[in-house]
Amino acid sequence: MNPLNPPAGVINATADSILSGPSFETKMERLSETEMLLNMGPQHPSTHGVLRVVLKLDGEVVTGAMPDVGYLHRGVEKLSENRLYPQVIVLTDRDDYLCAMLNNWAYCLAVEQLLKVEVPARAEYIRVLVGELNRIASHLVLIGTFGIDIGAFTPFLYAFGREREMILDLLDQVSGARITYNYIRIGGVMADLPAGWTEKAGKFVAHMRACLKEYDDLLTYNPIFLDRTRGVGILSKESAVSYGVAGPNLRASGVPLDLRKMAPYGVYGKFDFEMALGKNGDCFDRYLVRRNEIEQSLRIIEQALEALPAGDILGKVPKANIRPPAGEAYAHIEGARGWLGVYLISDGSLQPYRMHVRAPSFISLAVLQEILKGWKVADVVAILGSIDIVLGEVDR
Amino acid sequence: MSFQTPWAVLGPAVPSQTPEGIRRRYQRSVLLVLFLLGAVVLASVWLGEPAIRFEALMSRLSELVARKGWPWWVPDFVRLIVPCSLILIFVQLVPVFVLWWELKVAAHIQVRLGPMHVGLWHGWAQPLADGLKLLLKEDIVPAGADRWVHFLAPIVAFVPAYVCYAPIPFGADMAAADLDIGVLFVLGLSGLTVIGLLMAGWGSNNKYSALGGLRAAAQVVSYEVPRVISVLPVVMWAGSLSLSQIMAAQSGLWGGVIPKWFIFYPVIGQVSFLIYLICAVAETNRVPFDIAEAESELVSGFHTEYSGMKFAFFFMAEYAYVFLGSALGAVLFLGGAEPLPLMRWLPTYVVFFGKTMFLVFVFIWFRWTFPRLRVDRLMDFCWKFLLPWSLVNVLLAGLVFLVRWG
């Protein structure tokens, strides 16, 4: 057979498969007469990025759903095999761009495990400070965009345009960047806190406490919001555990699991805070867990600001040529979206032999095909918003 | 070593960004707005009642016709044409103003400023610029669309919005056509718009549009029922379907203190007004009832595939209905052009616009505060809550009026 001139059937099959996406048509059972396929995304206002969800609809009711990922794939894991160890930190910024600090942190923890470096106490506290601030910023994005998904536009501008902006200013002052910080470094942090920063952070904590009340008025106790989110998209304890969901989504289903409590890394063992827990695992619980986590993060920040020790900010790490001994390491932290793990293999050279990121939103996304069934189109958006995915992390 | 960013050292870049600067600017803005409001009120007082002036002009025209021997129908023709043209111009201007107002109110609700540049003063020309942009945009018709249905839909949606303004009394004797069945006319015609939305949903050949059109049809047809029933107590009380007579029935005071507006009628008035307000918001497809466009779910619902002036027509129809719903609410429940006791010196149309703009503000306020209801809950709310209570209200009203007037 001439590959340039194949028989008619073959080329038609290929063209069809490219145009109509047979993987979905064939994987979902055939459509009945009252059903239709709705291609939600990759260009859609509320898929939070370039996610494609193929929905099988009966009227407005979803009878089948299939998330399709990969539109934002940049090959971060492969790219990191060709960079020096410190250069990879820049790549991790781009994974989950809503909480880049935590990505930096997870990666640096893994490298520090390989190198067996001690991180100075001050650097550990600074990491907690910026990490928790970044977690708040990330949860604020969820609260805002979840509001938009439900149809309330105003909370978004409060959360995203006012409070998150203050956090970004604070992080800008420590790192020089608003989104991609590259601040947490192997063995410590990039620079010390600027003068007057701790007072500003303290002011922000007080401000944020007052603002939570505003969100409660607009969203948490709003009857329409409750009507839209309570009992919608229930993720049971069992299926959450069996899918490997972690973080706020798991805690919303009532499983008390938080790495900061269970396996404290850094100096988290020294702080007094509670774990935000939900009961039913519906959209409202997933929202409420985030809202309560902001409160707990504020408590942690307050304690960290008080206990902030003086001292070095960088451990004993070679200035150049970081060459960890051959071996492997896995470090995970409690990211804003769940367990954020980095698995590193070193062959003793200047570059990682292999890096893998356990991306929490990728794992949460898999749940969609189960919990979307039986809900309406409007609920699809609510459920998708409450799961809180970042496509940069899903596709990497 | 301490690391300092330039922002930390320099502080805010612009002096007007300091707290004192911001306060001074706000004070200046408030003064300016008060000054403008005062100027408008003074100008309107100086102008007086337009109806009286119009009558004077018309009588002069009749004399002229009689003297010059022009055909007899000229004064009648002018009497017909002038108010209609005025209404047409007015309905063109309503979306422009309401849009600007919505932009500014929304911005201030959301702790931002909104348009500030176009037109040099608080972005007053922004809606005009938007309109110009829409005028210049390419008109795209999707390949699979039903061309005629797609073309006609915006017109079908838009024309009833214009026609509905005919019997609205904008002040004393200021209705373009003072119909005996004004309430029925407005409520009946405004229901026609849904056909346009349905056509848009069908003609676009887009699944999101189709869902949006179907949602709009179900919603508008359902909410029409409690809306009409909520208006019945007013009609029973005033004993007329004519809008100007309903307005006239609300002149005077109850017990010499409370204005005789229907909203102040114990229980019945407030219940009717609330049901009317909710249904009026639902009829205009705005948040919290905007399931037909539902940006986060259906992209833009029925007008997803519309661009340029066709989109502008849907847009203008929406804003025309917002104003219409508010005007009708003001006439039926807030006494229309009847002023508050101490404000008799104001021309009637200023009073009317004051009340209407207050209701428009309520519409905007709703939109930027509430989340969106879900389709099935929306229907539940209409059929299981609004409809029964509006029926109870009508029964109660009938009972009360029967007992009081035998």
Percentage of chain A with pLDDT > 70? 91
B191 by Cβ neighbours in 10 Å (0-12 / 13-18 / 19+) ranks as: middle
In tens, the pLDDT along A168-212 reads 888 988 888 888 898 998 888 888 888 888 888 888 888 888 888
**Interface touch B8/A196, C-beta < 8 Å:** yes
Q: Rounded to an integer, what distance in angstroms lies between the CA atom of residue B343 and that of residue B347?
A: 9
Q: Rounded to an integer, what distance in angstroms lies between the CA atom of residue B90 and that of residue B171?
A: 14
Q: Rounded to an integer, what distance in angstroms lies between the CA atom of residue B65 and that of residue B60?
A: 9
Are A333 and A265 in contact by the 8 Å Cβ rule? The answer is yes
What does the pLDDT read at residue A12? 39
pLDDT > 80? residue B10: no
**Interface touch B374/A38, C-beta < 8 Å:** no
Closest by CA to A173, choosing from B13, B5, B11, is: B5
What does the pLDDT read at residue A129? 92
Instruction: Give B46-58 as a 3 state SS string.
Output: HHCCHHHHHHHHH
**Interface touch A150/B207, C-beta < 8 Å:** no
The pLDDT-based confidence of A134 (bands split at 50, 70, 90) is very high
Give me the phi and psi of A45, to 5 degrees please: -60, -25
- CB neighbours of A2 closer than 8 A, spacing ≥ 6? none
For residue B248, the tally of other CB atoms under 10 A from its CB is 18
User: In chain A, which residues have their Cβ closer than 8 Å to the Cβ of B369?
Assistant: 152, 154, 218
Q: Once rounded to an integer, what is the mean pLDDT over residues B386-406?
A: 88
The pLDDT-based confidence of A2 (bands split at 50, 70, 90) is very low
Q: Rounded to an integer, what distance in angstroms lies between the CA atom of residue A373 and that of residue A375?
A: 6
Sign of the alpha-carbon dihedral angle for B145, B148, B150, B151: positive
pLDDT > 70? residue B204: yes
In tens, the pLDDT along A47-90 reads 888 888 888 888 788 888 888 888 888 888 899 998 888 889 99
Q: A118-122, A234-238, B167-171 — which is least confidently predicted?
A: B167-171
How many angstroms separate the CA of residue B403 from the nearest CA in chain A? 39
What CATH fold (topology level) applies to the domain A76-395? Cytochrome-c3 Hydrogenase; chain B (1.10.645)
Closest by CA to A383, choosing from A395, A374, A396, is: A374
How many angstroms separate the CA of residue B192 from the nearest CA in chain A? 24
Q: Which two tokens stand for residue A180?
A: 């991609």
Sign of the alpha-carbon dihedral angle for B240, B241, B246, B248: negative
Q: Which two tokens stand for residue A2?
A: 């001439």
Q: Give the alpha-carbon dihedral of B133, B139, B142, B148, to 10 degrees.
A: 130
Partner residue opposite A60 with nearest CB, options B111, B211, B290: B211
pLDDT > 60? residue B144: yes
What does the pLDDT read at residue B406? 67
Closest by CA to A249, choosing from A388, A98, A100, is: A388
Q: Rounded to an integer, what distance in angstroms lies between the CA atom of residue B201 and that of residue B195?
A: 10
Q: Which two tokens stand for residue B208?
A: 């999101």
Residues 44-63 of B with CB under 8 A from A: none
Q: Whose structure tokens read 């470096």?
A: A117
The pLDDT-based confidence of B18 (bands split at 50, 70, 90) is low
Partner residue opposite B368 with nearest CB, options A38, A154, A197: A154
Q: Whose structure tokens read 């920040």?
A: A301
**Interface touch A227/B373, C-beta < 8 Å:** yes
Q: A301-310, A349-358, B290-299 — which is least confidently predicted?
A: B290-299
Are A236 and A253 in contact by the 8 Å Cβ rule? The answer is yes
Q: Once rounded to an integer, what is the mean pLDDT over residues B186-204?
A: 88
The pLDDT-based confidence of B17 (bands split at 50, 70, 90) is low
Query: In this predicted model, which residue has the larger pLDDT, B139 or A25?
Result: B139
CA distances from A359 to A116, A143, A298 (A): 24, 21, 25
Query: In this predicted model, which residue has the larger pLDDT, A59 or B190?
Result: B190
**Interface touch A46/B375, C-beta < 8 Å:** no
CB of B29 less than 8 A from some CB of A: no
Chain A residue with Cα closest to B6: A173
Q: Which two tokens stand for residue A372?
A: 């979307």
pLDDT > 50? residue A165: yes
Q: Rounded to an integer, what distance in angstroms lies between the CA atom of residue A358 and that of residue A364?
A: 11
User: In chain B, which residues have their Cβ closer than 8 Å to the Cβ of A157?
Assistant: 110-112
Q: Which residues, listed in sequence order, are joined to residue A189 by a DSSP beta bridge? A: A184
Q: Give the alpha-carbon dihedral of B276, B277, B280, B286, to 10 degrees.
A: -150
Q: A235-239, B122-126, B323-327 — which is least confidently predicted?
A: B122-126
CA distances from B191 to A110, A245, B143, B228, B280 (A): 65, 49, 30, 11, 11
Q: What ipTM score was computed for the predicted complex, to two decimals?
A: 0.76
Q: Rounded to an integer, what distance in angstroms lies between the CA atom of residue B368 and that of residue B51?
A: 37
What does the pLDDT read at residue B27? 86
Q: Once rounded to an integer, what is the mean pLDDT over residues A37-54?
A: 82
How many angstroms separate the CA of residue A346 from the nearest CA in chain B? 34
pLDDT > 60? residue A392: yes
Average pLDDT, chain A: 84
What does the pLDDT read at residue A289? 92
Residues of chain A whose beta carbon is less than 8 angstroms from a beta carbon of chain B are: 36, 38, 44-46, 60, 147-154, 157-158, 161-162, 169, 172-174, 176, 191-197, 218-219, 222, 224-225, 227-228, 376-381
pLDDT > 90? residue B169: no
Q: Once rounded to an integer, what is the mean pLDDT over residues B326-353?
A: 83
**Interface touch B371/A151, C-beta < 8 Å:** yes
Domain boundaries, chain A: 1-29, 76-395
Q: Is the peptide bond before B288 cis (omega within 30 degrees of 0)?
A: yes
- The vertex-A273 CA angle with A272 and A274, nearest 5°, equals 140
Percentage of chain B with pLDDT > 90? 7
The pLDDT-based confidence of A213 (bands split at 50, 70, 90) is confident
In tens, the pLDDT along A92-116 reads 988 888 889 999 999 999 999 888 8
How many angstroms separate the CA of residue B1 from the nearest CA in chain A? 8
Instruction: Give chain A as a 3 state SS string.
Output: CCCCCCCHHHHHHHHHHHHHCHHHHHHCCCCCCCEEEEEECCCCCCCCCCCEEEEEEECCEEEEEEEECCCCCCCHHHHHHHCCHHHHHHHHHCCCCCCHHHHHHHHHHHHHHHHCCCCCHHHHHHHHHHHHHHHHHHHHHHHHHHHHHHCCCHHHHHHHHHHHHHHHHHHHHHHCCCCCCCCEECCEECCCCCCCHHHHHHHHHHHHHHHHHHHHHHHHCCHHHHHHHCCCCCCCHHHHHHHCCCCHHHHHCCCCCCHHHHCCCCCHHHCCCCCCCCCCCCHHHHHHHHHHHHHHHHHHHHHHHHHCCCCCCECCCCCCCCCCCCEEEEEEEEECCEEEEEEEEECCCCCEEEEEEECHHHHHHHCHHHHCCCCEHHHHHHHHHHHCCCHHHHHC
One-letter amino acid for residue A7 of the chain: P
In tens, the pLDDT along B207-240 reads 888 888 888 888 888 888 999 999 999 898 888 8
User: In chain B, which residues have their Cβ closer than 8 Å to the Cβ of A45?
Assistant: 295-296, 299
**Interface touch A45/B299, C-beta < 8 Å:** yes
What does the pLDDT read at residue B14? 52
Partner residue opposite A157 with nearest CB, options B1, B2, B111: B111
B181 by Cβ neighbours in 10 Å (0-12 / 13-18 / 19+) ranks as: middle
What does the pLDDT read at residue B375? 83
Percentage of chain B with pLDDT > 70? 95
One-letter amino acid for residue B134 of the chain: L
Q: Which two tokens stand for residue A192?
A: 């010390």
What does the pLDDT read at residue A137? 92
Query: In this predicted model, which residue has the larger pLDDT, A71 or B14?
Result: A71
Average pLDDT, chain B: 84
